[in-house]
């Protein structure tokens, strides 16, 4: 199937897999939407920026982390930063995996063309102003998501909020596994066994990529990561379903993901 400019095949999947494509950002939202490239710039290394109110659209990463912190009631900024990073990773994986499986091609998610509203939720947070088709193989998907987005996002979150690179690699892998699992479930519900098989195969290939290898174990569509996203530190919550911990760790036990593998996502 050809990659149509509006990516209509994604609409039945809903939520995280839908993308506003080949549409300009509405003028009424122009002040709150910025190219994702703006979220990766190393211009906000000072933590003082996180207690100030920046010009709308000038600091999308900081805006998103602050919003997540308020919604979760998270007292620790690094917890909100981890959850925010994983949420954006889930959006990027969901869109790209679905395109690769349903179309056989993926859109070029150039961060200068892919716009983000850090105050919105899926599917109204991402806008791709132009659609250019690329191959749908694992290597291209990894380039589109891992190299182009998640590597610089990891460095920005690590530098600004002190979140360990190994933890952020685990977040990227967890988001990928979750996106693949949801796509597999959708395909099987609709009797599309070939689509489900393709989703499982592509997810497994991507988790074996050098940037994600060693982050966890995939069994079927179930993933168990080797690190923890810190969500358990939000009041009233527990550990996630794929966490390395079976229950929230005590005060003296903190997840220390391995960082011996050299990669841009470490």
How many helices (H) and strands (E) the chain has is answered by 6, 8
Distance CA 96, CA 176 (A): 10
Q: Which of 53, 14, 61 is nearest to 168 (CA)?
A: 61
User: Residue 106 in 3-state DSSP?
Assistant: strand
Question: Distances in Å between the alpha carbon of 37 and those of 40, 41, 48, 116?
Answer: 5, 7, 22, 9
| Whether pTM exceeds 0.85 | yes
H-type alpha helices, 48-127: 60-72, 77-102
Domains in the chain: boundaries: 20-233
To the nearest 5 percent, what fractions of the chain are helix, strand and coil?
Answer: 50, 10, 45
**pLDDT tens over the chain, length 266 residues:** 789 999 999 999 998 999 999 888 888 888 889 999 999 986 544 444 454 434 445 799 999 999 999 999 999 999 999 999 999 999 999 999 999 999 999 999 999 999 999 999 999 899 999 999 999 999 999 999 999 999 999 999 999 999 999 999 999 999 999 999 999 999 999 999 999 999 999 999 999 999 999 999 999 999 999 999 999 999 999 999 999 999 988 764 444 444 433 334 44
């Amino acid at each position: 199937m050809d990659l149509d400019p509006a990516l209509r095949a994604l609409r039945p999947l809903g939520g995280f897999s839908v993308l506003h494509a080949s549409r300009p950002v509405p003028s009424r939202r122009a002040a709150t939407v910025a190219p994702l490239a703006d979220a990766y710039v190393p211009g906000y290394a000072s933590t003082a920026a996180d207690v100030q109110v920046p010009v709308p659209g000038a600091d999308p990463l900081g805006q998103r982390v602050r919003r997540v912190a308020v919604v979760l009631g998270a007292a620790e900024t690094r917890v909100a930063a981890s959850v925010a990073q994983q949420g954006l990773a889930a959006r990027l994986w969901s869109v790209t995996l679905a395109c690769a499986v349903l179309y056989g091609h993926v859109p070029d998610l150039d961060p200068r063309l892919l716009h983000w509203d850090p105050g919105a939720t899926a599917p109204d947070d991402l806008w791709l102003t132009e659609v250019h088709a690329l191959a749908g193989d694992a290597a291209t998907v990894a380039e589109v998501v891992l190299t182009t987005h998640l590597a610089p996002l990891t460095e920005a979150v690590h530098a600004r909020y002190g979140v360990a690179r190994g933890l952020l690699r685990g977040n990227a892998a967890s988001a990928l596994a979750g996106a693949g699992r949801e796509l597999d479930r959708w395909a099987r519900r609709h009797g599309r066994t070939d689509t489900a098989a393709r989703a499982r195969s592509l997810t497994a290939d991507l988790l074996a990529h050098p940037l994600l290898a060693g982050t966890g174990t995939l069994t079927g569509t179930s993933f168990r990561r080797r690190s923890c996203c810190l969500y358990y530190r939000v009041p009233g919550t527990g550990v996630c379903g794929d966490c390395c911990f079976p229950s929230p760790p005590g005060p003296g036990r903190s997840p220390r993901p391995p960082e011996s593998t050299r990669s841009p996502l470490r």
